[in-house]
Amino acid sequence: MAQRPVNEGEETLMKADLRLIEEVKQGNQASFAILVERHQRTMMKAALRITRDLTAAEDVVQETFIKAYQKLNSFEGRSSFKSWLYQITLNTARNKIRSYRKENLSIEGLVLSTEGHMEAHLHRASVFEMLKSEIDGLPEKQKQAISLRVFDDLSFKEISEIMDCPYDTAKANYRHALLKLKSKLEIHPEFKLMKDKGAYNINESRGTFVEVES
Amino acid sequence: MRNEEENNQDVEWAWVDYVEGDVEPEMKQDLQNLLRLSSDSREVVSDLHWTKEMVKSLDPAHDEFLEKWDAKASLEKILKMCQTQERPSSARMEASGSFSSSNDLQNSKNLRISCSKYSKAFSNRS
């Protein structure tokens, strides 16, 4: 199966990251600041998807960059710096969740703390509730693959680097997840209804369905 | 001997790859032909698109949520904490031979320009 080539923009960014890493090793702190600036938002999103809590995600991102700084020597450049950071972020976030659990802090509480109008909309739409629960119920690797692909729009090459698995495995996890979710949606009466009406589109934000003028 | 289930899985996987734009050109042509001929295939592709869009809309890390986050303060905190850490040593790194791409990087004029632009921006800010 064809692997999507790394596009020119991505390649330039990857090379620029490597250059900056070299500069950091020469003692240039400003270069590290640029690296943080470039990647902190993406890592914040990745952390949020696991912790579902802004403060916890912020802690994760800070810890991630400090670890990255400390371990810069162990970065071998086999994967992109972004993929490497992702790995650290995901591991740190998972550890954070574990420690929250140990402290008897309810994960449900963390989820609720993110509530806003998004949650309100979701509760109104049973199809989204079902989908959310199906995503939560996916095996960890499938969940990770779908999150990295759909939320972060990463290539399968990047996903395989982050998940530390072969390209085909990353892709297989994604296919299984997407097909599983599709099969659950297909039998949901509301999904069928939405599709039958045809002239509906998913609002970019928060899973609200809006009518599209034809 | 492949059974029907395996064949069905191959077909389903091919549609996922098609939706992801990750198929060989020949296969892509075959799938496009199939799409023209078969309403079932069109239904599958449409369902996959819908599924993806709906999953996307459930992203817990949506932008409105991140508006509450002070990225600048976070950056400053990270840099302050890093100042107390031992800085990475290039000597050790080079000894391990793990940074093989450094020669390539030196040849990249564009990259140098891009990096100096970033460094300059950072100096101005601080």
B60 touches chain A (CB under 8 A): yes
Is A31 exposed, middle or buried (CB count within 10 Å of its CB: 0-12, 13-18, 19+)?
A: buried
Return the residue of A nearest to B95 by Cα: A73
Give the pLDDT confidence score for residue B32 in this predicted structure.
Answer: 94
CA distance B36 to chain A (A): 19
Return the residue of B nearest to A65 by Cα: B78
Count of residues in chain B: 126
Give the pLDDT confidence score for residue A197 in this predicted structure.
Answer: 61
Query: How many CA atoms lie less than 13 Å away from A56 in the CB half-sphere?
Result: 27
Coil/strand/helix, residue A166: coil
Q: Do A151 and B87 touch (CB under 8 A)?
A: no
Q: What tokens appear for A77 in the block? A: 């450049």
CA distance A94 to chain B (A): 16
Dist CA B34 CA B92 (whole Å): 57
B89 touches chain A (CB under 8 A): yes
Q: In B, which residues are within 8 Å of A3 by CB distance?
A: 22
**CB neighbours of A17 closer than 8 A, spacing ≥ 6?**
A35, A38, A80, A81, A82
Q: In A, which residues are within 8 Å of B66 by CB distance?
A: 41, 44-45, 48
Longest dimension (CA), chain A: 61
Q: In B, which residues are within 8 Å of A170 by CB distance?
A: none
Q: Which residues of chain A have pLDDT under 70?
A: 1-8, 101-125, 195-214
The radius of gyration computed from the CA coordinates of chain A, to the nearest angstrom, equals 19
Q: Which secondary structure element, helix H or strand E, spans residue A211, and what is its range?
A: strand A209-211
Q: Which of B52, B54, B48 is nearest to A128 (CA)?
A: B54
B74 touches chain A (CB under 8 A): yes
Interface contacts (A, B; CB < 8 Å): 210
Return the residue of A nearest to B49 by Cα: A182
A33 CB neighbour count, 10 Å cutoff: 22
Give the pLDDT confidence score for residue B87 in this predicted structure.
Answer: 66
Q: What tokens appear for B9 in the block? A: 């899985």
Q: Which residues of chain B have pLDDT under 70?
A: 1-2, 87-126
